[in-house]
Chains A and B, each alone.
Chain A
Amino acid sequence: MDALALFLQTAIQMGTPMLLATVGGILCEKSGHLNLGIEGMMLIGAVMGFKIGQVSGNPILAISAAAISGGLAALIYAIITVTLRGNHIVTGLTLTIFGTGVANYIGKSIVVPALPESVKAPFRSINIPLLTKIPILGKSIFNQSIYVHIAIIIAILAYIYLNRTRLGLNLRSVGENPAAADASGINVDLYKYVHIIIGGALCGVGGSYLSIVEIGWRDNLTAGIGWIAVVLIIFSTWDPLKAMFGAYFFGALRALGFQLQSIKLPFSGETISVPIQLLDMIPYIATIIVLVLITIRKKEENQAPASLGSPYFREDR
């Protein structure tokens, strides 16, 4: 039983950066903007969170730096796609390449890849009294870093925001039919800017989980997690609650890869371990399968925002 609890705990941890990035991506896409720059924004957030944490020794400054740098990267994207009406796909891809370069460049100045205790300590797993007493799930869910809890709260808040509030309704209308939103007196460009930037900030915070809590900084730290988030957005049908399950499912696949590394298999008289490269493929193979499966669904509400990827200009005729 302990092994299962531990596995679930690890799955949730490994899914947390994906969850933050996915919720960020959902907010952005709900405004009608497809941002393929998630990977880049995560890397920028990861390196800035780590760097500022190391220099200042202040955990709050570290997270803020990750959020602000992710948001600033998203601002570049917003200026190009909203105001200048650039192509979303090309701009997003460029943002990923740009973000990777910037992050690795800043990363060069990180000589000692370790954070001061003052930054690491607040993010260690903490036991929430009583709740951790629940068998299996208790420890898996509630004996976690504050990051994990924040991610869950953000996902739930995002769900309420999108589905229950007036602002969320307005946002969804912007992504579905900007002309309708505009005619209803909604400031379309403002909504787009705000949500693209919030989305970028969440991606930045997601990236910083990897560098501050999970791994530490190294080049290309995210290793495709941002791309999995792009898939999770579709997988979750743009629903932050479903994104939680998706993220933890893929977290479990990542965790599985690590677990299988230690298993030895008998092979023609010797024992060998499963090649690590094969294990690393698991989440991506699952991604392909998921992408095929989700094309089968037809329900109207589960589709992408109708104007996703197309620019809006009021006086277009």
Chain B
Amino acid sequence: MDIPFVELKGINKKFGTVVANQNVNMTINKGEIHAILGENGSGKSTLMNMLSGIYMPDSGQILLEGRELKITSPDDAINAGIGMIHQHFKLVDVFSAKENITLGKKDGLFIKGKELSRQIREVGDKYSLRIDPDKKVYNMSVSEKQTVEIIKVLFGGARLLILDEPTAVLTPQEIDNLFSILRKMRDDGCAIIIITHKMDEVMAISDRITILRKGESIATVNTADTDVKSLTEMMVGRPISLEIKRVTTDPEKVKPILNVRDLVVEGVGNQRLLDNVSFELSSGEILGVAGIAGSGQKELCEVLAGICRPKTGSAIFKGDEIIGLSPREIIRKGIKTSFIPEDRLGMGLVGNMNIVDNVLLKEYHNSNKMFMSRKGSKQISEQIIEKYDIKTPSVYHQVKKLSGGNIQKVLLGREINLAPQLLVTAYPVRGLDIGASYQIYNLLNSQKQDGVGIIFIGEDLDVLMALCDRIMVLSHGEVMDIVPADKVTKEQLGMLMLGHKNFDTEGHND
């Protein structure tokens, strides 16, 4: 224990002129779970990618059990016993679990299928990680994919396991399970680094915490000696309120505006992506949508935006049917959609275009002149930048060169600026740090108070429970239940997300 397992000394890394890490120092011991906390862009992932050989530090030292280690490729890292589970899984979709697990291993020319399956089960049994070795990755749920990644790393004999935001896409039950596996590994003497945004998880799982701010390591503290409030302050650099308010809307503004009945969307092979989805929404209300990734959230957005035509079903918006209308007609009615996909750009913004042109995309058809005028869009862009505190060198800056949070604010700002009556927003805080997230929550709350009906598709159950009025839970495209957000527990939501409709009623009493 005297010599730390891994020690980072004065690590620096720049991408072009952007400083990602500056003079980072930290130590990781055997048999500990070490959390790394930091806002977005504070350099957590970059730092870990240097340990796993994806990036190389510009300067600084990495010591493994006291000896200097040069990591120039992932191969070096694997040989040193460092395994990383990336935020976006690095698995080959068309391969089976065992093919992915054995990938890159040096063990004879031919693959011994049966022997491999046996070994995988052996490792799995030790940590109660269950996976069918022959299941293809494209048939797997997110948590199964994660299991494959963990077994793969263990299979490579890793003694240091790095997990980059492993809980972002898991249900509460899956998170509990993951944590118990991590604890077991720690007790076996593994060193574990976990990167996460979620404070309660950090407090629950970690032994020590290192805080990064703007690429620098601010402090390392023992979890037992600290609390959420002081951690947040170290992370953000100033005190910040951690309460999400559920605001009330003036009852006069609350009127039913959207009535969705029996929506069915079918995908390849008649698989139902949305299965008889029905719900109602009032103005001045936030309806949360919870569900495991790929439960029909995207399809719901697409139907309401007019991109995807359902097989059957109707959606009445203020007395008018909107199914069958073109996206532009729906926009004209006052329904705005902002969908933040995993890569943050995909739907909504064109990365290579600047802010003005992205605003123009939704404006130009309101003018009937032959040539476009950028004047109006420029003004709007300037308003959005000022109102939402978007950090950009100018309105003519390419959108994809902004940071994730700022991109999201441009998208949401543009939609809100169009004075919607119904706002559909999916994952608006995806990957945002605490400060930026709270700005977005406040934005949604003020829209709600103005009488906008909001559909909020989210990932973080704590946020959904705190911000929304009601929560609709989707599982395999089906509405499991619509529950009042202030009366439901996280566990109940988790059960619904997993498709268990009739959870234990004892938990239902309030």
Closest to B78 in A: A185
Q: What's the least CB distance linking B160 to chain A, in Å?
A: 15
67-92 of chain B: CB within 8 A of chain A: 73-75, 77-79, 84, 86, 90-92
CB-based contact A180/B90 at 8 Å = yes
Residue of A165, A176, A315 touching B92 (CB-CB under 8 A): A176
Q: A166-B105, A317-B15 are in contact. Are A298 and B55 (CB under 8 A)?
A: no
Q: How near does chain B come to A169, taking the closest CB pair, in angstroms?
A: 6
Binary CB contact string for chain A from 21 to 35 against chain B (1 if under 8 A, 0 otherwise)? 000000000000000
CA distance A183 to B138 in the complex (A): 19
Residues of B within 8 A of A186 (CB): 75, 103-104
In the complex, B204 has a CB within 8 A of chain A: no
Contact A165 B93 (CB under 8 A): no
Bin the interface of chain A by size: 20 to 34
Report how far A298 CA is from B267 CA in the complex, Å.
13
Cα separation A179 to B91 with both chains bound (whole Å): 9
Residue with the highest number of chain B CB atoms closer than 10 Å, among A170, A180, A183:
A183
- Residue from A164, A180, A187, A301 within 8 A of B75 (CB atoms): A187
Would you call B52 an interface residue if the criterion is a C-beta within 8 Å of the partner chain's C-beta atoms? Answer: yes
Contact B107 A166 (CB under 8 A): yes
Q: How far is the CB of A304 from chain B (nearest CB, A)?
A: 11
Shortest C-beta distance, B108 to chain A (Å), equals 7
Residue A97, interface by CB 8 Å: no
Closest to B85 in A: A183
Instruction: Specify the chain B residue showing the minimal Cβ separation from A315.
Output: B55
Question: B136 interface residue, CB < 8 Å from A?
Answer: yes
The answer to whether B52 and A183 have CB atoms under 8 Å apart is yes
- Using A166-B105, A184-B104, A314-B54 as known contacts, say yes or no to A176 and B95 having CB atoms under 8 A apart: yes
Q: Which residues of B contact A276 (CB under 8 A)?
A: none
Q: Are B74 and A177 in contact (CB under 8 A)?
A: no
Q: Which of B94, B100, B268 has the most CB of A within 10 A?
A: B94
Please indicate the chain B residues that have their CB under 8 angstroms from the CB of A170 in the complex: 103-104
From residue B135, how far is it (CB to closest CB) to chain A in Å? 13
Inter-subunit contact B78/A177 (CB<8 Å): no
B74 and A300 contact, CB distance less than 8 A: no
Residue of A at shortest CB range from B77? A185
Bound-state Cα–Cα, A306 to B137, Å: 14
The tally of residues in B whose CB lies under 8 Å from a CB in A reads 35
Q: Is the CB of B54 within 8 A of A184?
A: no
Interface of A is mostly: helix
A146-181 residues with Cβ-Cβ distance < 8 A to B are: 164-167, 169-170, 172-173, 176-177, 179-181
Distance of A44 Cα from B492 Cα, bound (Å): 68
From the candidates B77, B84, B93, name the one contacting A177 in the complex (CB within 8 A): B93
Contact call B104/A179, Cβ cutoff below 8 A: no
Query: Is B224 at the interface (CB under 8 A from chain A)?
Result: no
Residues A169 and B55 in contact in the complex (CB < 8 Å), given A176-B95, A300-B138: no
Bound form: Cα–Cα A182–B108 in Å: 20
Given contacts A182-B54, A183-B90, contact A165 B268 (CB under 8 A): no
If A183-B74, A315-B54 touch, whether A306 touches B95 (CB-CB below 8 Å) is: no
Taken residue by residue from 100 to 115, chain B's Cβ proximity to chain A (1 for < 8 Å, 0 otherwise) reads as 1011111111110000
Question: Within 8 Å CB of B106, what residues of A?
Answer: 166
The answer to the question of B99 belonging to the interface, with a C-beta cut-off of 8 Å to chain A, is: yes
Q: Which of A164, A179, A180, A303 makes the CB contact (< 8 A) with B103?
A: A180
A-side contacts of B104, CB under 8 Å: 170, 173, 181, 184-186
Q: Is the CB of A165 within 8 A of B109?
A: yes
Residues of A172-218 at the interface with B, using a CB-CB cut-off of 8 Å, are 172-173, 176-177, 179-187
Within the complex, what minimum Cβ distance (angstroms) separates A179 from chain B?
5
Which B residues are CB-close (under 8 A) to A187? Answer: 73, 75
Evaluate contact between B84 and A166: CB separation under 8 angstroms. Answer: no
Closest Cβ neighbor of B100 among chain A residues:
A180
Contact B136 A300 (CB under 8 A): yes
Q: Which of B73, B103, B107 has the most CB of A within 10 A?
A: B103
Q: How far is the CB of B333 from chain A (nearest CB, A)?
A: 36
Q: How far is the CA of A167 from the CA of B90 in the complex (A)?
A: 19
5 chain-A/chain-B pairs, Cβ below 8 angstroms: A167-B109, A173-B104, A184-B90, A185-B73, A300-B136
Closest 8 A/B residue pairs (Cβ): A184-B104, A185-B75, A180-B90, A183-B90, A185-B104, A184-B103, A176-B92, A185-B78
Residues of A at the B interface (CB closer than 8 Å) are 164-167, 169-170, 172-173, 176-177, 179-187, 298, 300-301, 303, 306, 314-315, 317
